[in-house]
């Protein structure tokens, strides 16, 4: 006798939809644009110390590369 495993798609689809919705909520903030400096980097801090996640700072030790706190 051979035992077969089956998939109950009507129960699986709601789980997949819920998983996609959860991942979409987590990805939405990541797709937001980075704040613009309008070409003026002189007002950016030169160290990430004390900044929040997403804030921009200017790495003066690395040819003024603008970086974002992660």
Residue 13 lies in a domain: yes
Beta pairing, strands 65-68 & 56-59: antiparallel
- Tell me the DSSP string of 16-70: HHHHHHHHHHHHGGGGSPPPP-TT--TTS-SS-TTPPTT-EEEEGGGTTEEEE--
pTM: 0.39
Domain that residue 56 falls in: 9-68
Phi, psi dihedral angles at 65 (to 5 degrees): -75, 130
Q: Which residue has the higher pLDDT, 69 or 6?
A: 6
In a domain, 21, yes or no: yes
> Does 20 fall in a domain?
yes
Residue-wise pLDDT tens digits, 18-61: 999 998 888 776 666 555 556 666 777 777 788 778 777 777 77
When divided into structural domains, the chain yields a total of 1
In a domain, 1, yes or no: no
């Amino acid at each position: 006798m051979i035992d077969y495993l089956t998939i109950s798609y009507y129960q699986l689809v709601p789980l997949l939809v819920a998983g996609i919705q959860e991942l979409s909520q987590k990805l939405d903030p990541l797709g937001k644009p980075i704040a613009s400096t309008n070409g003026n980097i002189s007002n950016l801090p030169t160290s990430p110390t004390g900044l929040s996640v997403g804030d921009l700072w200017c790495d003066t030790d690395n040819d003024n590369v603008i970086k974002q706190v992660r």
